[in-house]
């Protein structure tokens, strides 16, 4: 089983790698082609539908839909599964069309509420409102994409859903580089690009769905048993998903009141962290959810706990060194990716600080991605809600305390204060996985296999050795700023290859073998 999951994860990972590479290229274009005033406005306008996307598409909906459609596939006929897909597509699609229309019309109110640091009537406020009118309908398109991707994932097709993100990035790059110079308002090319990319993402899924005979005619059908069950599962899942996303949104809203550029610096740092998170952690979580759901539906608790244990070991062996490398190489990575055009030396420094803070959150975010399916696969969406609320509470308490101190000391507009928001997010990200893990153990759902203590000692030892190597060979940040892009790429490649080789060599000499990752 582990070989099959690993093969599926590899396919998903390769497609996601392509998506992340094009996504970073897209962010490089943003940072170099537009001023921080425009990017602050753009990221605020994009983040609002993106928040709802993660709630309805990648968050609550996927967590509720995939286990149900997997159960239908296991226990029912193809006709019954197709009827479920048609009913969900029509019901969810109809609801989100209305939400998208309302969101577009209420753009000024939404920007006023979500970006209180943008003065009403200012240039930044006006740009954000104009962009949001185009970006909000992306919620509908990407949610339909998530539905189609959830169906294909349940049937073992992970490539097309992962590849769909590449379309978004490519369209956005074309819009920023080649369309924007021909518009009276160049920044509007970004908003229009999101709208077009959303339609393209939906369209590439349709041929496979039609080939599998899993989609005929979407229709509104609230009375369908599967739709009602998904709806009931989504309600607590929305609350659980919203905790993390509301935390991010509130942090972004707070950042609009800090020094100009804070929204951009936090976003770019988050994008650097999401590179390993998206390639490996989200890929692994996406692959194991339908497998865990099938094990639960077929009453195979041994396979269920073995899959979780194997997945957790993979997370630690890959993500721990990734977090360490991200912390050590935060400055060089920022310089390599963004130091050009409108992105100044000061912005490099500010983004570096945020990246180092977010590096502490990477392991926590990754563990949540793997532990949460242990609940969702059993159609338990209430427990993750409670853990997410505790995490959200901690993050918000730290945010409020930090901002209160900044206001009292008059430091609110001093560049660099955004790092407090990143550290608060990292603290919340560390609490959530611990609570999820404890719940799985108490419920008897997950039973760790023998050898975890020695396994973790080996990983920590190898990570320390790698960190010492990277810190010595990376040199001073000033040297990275003084060389050209080609030299930076070659230098970073040498560090990644050398650090990775040293890490795995240390694991080997400490006694870890590939067969230790089999169950």
- Is the model more confident about 425 or about 378? 425
- Any idea which residue has 């804070």 for tokens? 262
> Of 483 and 381, which is predicted with more confidence?
483
Give a yes or no: residue 464 inside a domain. Answer: no
As a whole number of angstroms, the distance between CA 506 and CA 291 comes to 32
Asked whether the CA dihedral 113, 116, 119, 122 is positive or negative, the reply is negative
Residue 298 in tokens: 């077929």
> pLDDT above 90 covers what percent of the chain?
18
The torsion defined by the Cα of 206, 208, 209 and 211, in degrees rounded to 10, comes to: 120
Rg (CA), the chain: 23
Lowest mean pLDDT, pick from 96-110, 219-233, 354-368 = 219-233
More confident residue, 237 or 405: 405
Least confident of 11-20, 433-442, 463-472, 485-494: 11-20
Range of lowest pLDDT (234-248, 293-307, 456-470): 234-248
Task: State the Cα–Cα distance between residues 335 and 329, nearest whole angstrom.
Answer: 10
> For residues 316 and 459, is the Cβ–Cβ distance under 8 A?
yes
Could you tell me which residues come within 8 angstroms of residue 338 by beta carbon, excluding any fewer than 6 positions away? 27, 28, 31, 32, 268, 347, 348, 351
- Per-residue pLDDT for 145 more than 50? yes
What local confidence, expressed as pLDDT, does residue 1 receive?
46
What pLDDT is attached to residue 244?
A: 57
User: Could you tell me if residue 73 is inside a domain?
Assistant: yes
> Would residue 504 count as lying in a domain?
no
In a domain, 150, yes or no: yes
Contact assessment for residue 398 and residue 423, using Cβ atoms and an 8 Å cutoff: yes
Residue 494: inside a domain: no
**54-58, 72-76, 194-198, 225-229: which range is least confident on average?**
54-58
Q: What are phi and psi of 411, to 5 degrees?
A: -105, 10
* Mean pLDDT score, 451-474: 93
Indicate if the pLDDT at residue 119 is higher than 70: yes
**CA 513 to each of CA 447, 451, 455, 464, 510: distance values in angstroms, whole numbers, following the listed order:** 22, 13, 11, 19, 9
| Residue 91 falls inside a structural domain | yes
Tokens of 268: 């770019």
Structural domain boundaries enclosing 366: 2-449
Question: What does the pLDDT read at residue 294?
Answer: 60
Question: Number of folded domains in the chain?
Answer: 1
Smallest CA-to-CA distance from 286 within 142, 87, 144, 152 is with 152
Per-residue pLDDT at 275 exceeds 80: no
What are the backbone angles phi and psi of residue 400, rounded to the nearest 5°?
-65, -40
pLDDT in tens, 61-93: 666 777 787 778 777 777 888 888 888 888 888
- Ordered alpha helix ranges (H), 329-372: 330-338, 345-371
Residue 493 lies in a domain: no
Work out whether the CA dihedral 396, 398, 400, 403 comes out positive or negative: negative
Average pLDDT estimate for 327-348? 86
Q: Residue 15: pLDDT above 80?
A: no
Of 136, 129, 163, 128, which Cα lies nearest the Cα of 149? 163
Q: What is the pLDDT of residues 164-221, one digit of tens each?
A: 888 888 999 999 889 988 898 988 999 999 999 989 988 988 888 888 777 777 888 8
The mean predicted confidence, pLDDT, of the chain is 81
| pLDDT at 506 > cutoff 90 | yes
More confident residue, 105 or 516: 105
Residue with tokens 């853990």: 387
44 vs 126, which has greater pLDDT? Answer: 126
Instruction: Using the predicted structure, report yes or no on whether residue 285 has a pLDDT greater than 60.
Output: no
DSSP 141-184: HHHHHHHHHHHHHHTT--HHHHHHHHHHHHHHHHIIIIIGGGSS
**Average pLDDT for 266-288:** 71
Q: Kindly state whether residue 498 falls inside one of the protein's structural domains.
A: no
**Measured distance CA(113)–CA(313) in Å, rounded:** 42
Neighbouring C-alpha atoms within 13 Å toward the C-beta of 301: 7
Indicate if the pLDDT at residue 271 is higher than 90: no
């Amino acid at each position: 089983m582990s070989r099959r999951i690993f093969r599926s994860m590899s396919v998903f990972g390769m497609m996601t790698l392509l998506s992340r590479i094009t996504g970073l290229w897209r962010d490089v274009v943003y940072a170099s082609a537009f001023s921080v005033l425009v990017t602050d406005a753009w990221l605020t306008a994009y983040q609002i539908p993106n928040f709802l996307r993660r709630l309805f598409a990648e968050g609550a909906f996927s967590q509720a839909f995939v286990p149900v459609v997997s159960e239908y596939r296991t226990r029912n006929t193809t006709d019954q599964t197709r009827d479920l897909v048609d009913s969900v597509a029509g019901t969810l699609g109809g609801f989100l069309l209305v939400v998208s229309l309302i969101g577009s019309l209420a753009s000024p109110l939404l920007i006023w509420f979500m970006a209180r640091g943008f003065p009403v009537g200012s240039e930044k406020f006006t740009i954000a409102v104009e962009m949001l009118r185009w970006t909000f309908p992306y919620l509908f398109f990407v949610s339909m994409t998530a539905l189609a991707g959830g169906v294909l994932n349940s049937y073992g097709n992970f490539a097309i859903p992962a590849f769909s993100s590449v379309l978004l990035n490519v369209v956005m790059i074309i819009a920023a580089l080649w369309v924007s110079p021909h518009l009276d308002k160049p920044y509007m090319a970004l908003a229009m690009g999101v709208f077009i990319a959303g339609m393209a993402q939906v369209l590439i899924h349709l041929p496979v769905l039609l080939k599998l005979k899993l989609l005929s005619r979407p229709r509104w059908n609230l009375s369908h048993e599967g739709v009602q069950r998904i709806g009931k599962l989504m309600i607590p899942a929305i609350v659980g998903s919203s905790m993390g996303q509301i935390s991010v949104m509130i942090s972004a809203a707070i950042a609009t009141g800090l020094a100009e550029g804070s929204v951009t610096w936090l976003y770019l740092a988050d994008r650097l962290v999401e590179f390993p998170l998206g390639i490996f952690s989200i890929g692994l979580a996406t692959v194991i959810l339908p497998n865990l759901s099938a094990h639960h539906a077929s009453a195979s608790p041994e396979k269920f706990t073995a899959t979780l244990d194997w997945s957790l070991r993979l997370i630690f062996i890959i993500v721990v060194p990734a977090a360490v490398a991200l912390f050590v190489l935060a400055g060089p990575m920022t310089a390599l990716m963004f130091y050009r055009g409108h992105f100044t030396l000061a912005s490099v420094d500010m983004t570096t600080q945020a990246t180092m803070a977010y590096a502490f959150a990477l392991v926590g975010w990754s563990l949540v991605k793997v532990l949460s399916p242990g609940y969702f696969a059993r159609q338990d969406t209430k427990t993750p809600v409670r853990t997410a609320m505790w995490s959200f509470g901690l993050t918000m308490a730290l945010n409020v305390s930090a901002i209160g101190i900044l206001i009292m000391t008059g430091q609110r507009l001093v560049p660099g204060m955004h790092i407090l928001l990143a550290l608060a997010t990292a603290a919340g990200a560390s609490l959530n996985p611990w609570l999820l893990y404890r719940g799985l153990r108490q419920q008897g759902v997950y039973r760790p296999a023998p050898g975890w203590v020695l396994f973790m000692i080996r990983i920590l030892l190898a990570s320390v050795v790698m960190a010492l190597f990277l810190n010595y060979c990376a040199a001073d940040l000033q040297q990275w700023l003084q060389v050209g892009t080609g030299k930076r790429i070659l230098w970073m490649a040498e560090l990644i290859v050398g650090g990775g080789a040293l890490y795995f060599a240390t694991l080997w000499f400490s006694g870890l073998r590939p067969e230790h990752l089999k169950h």
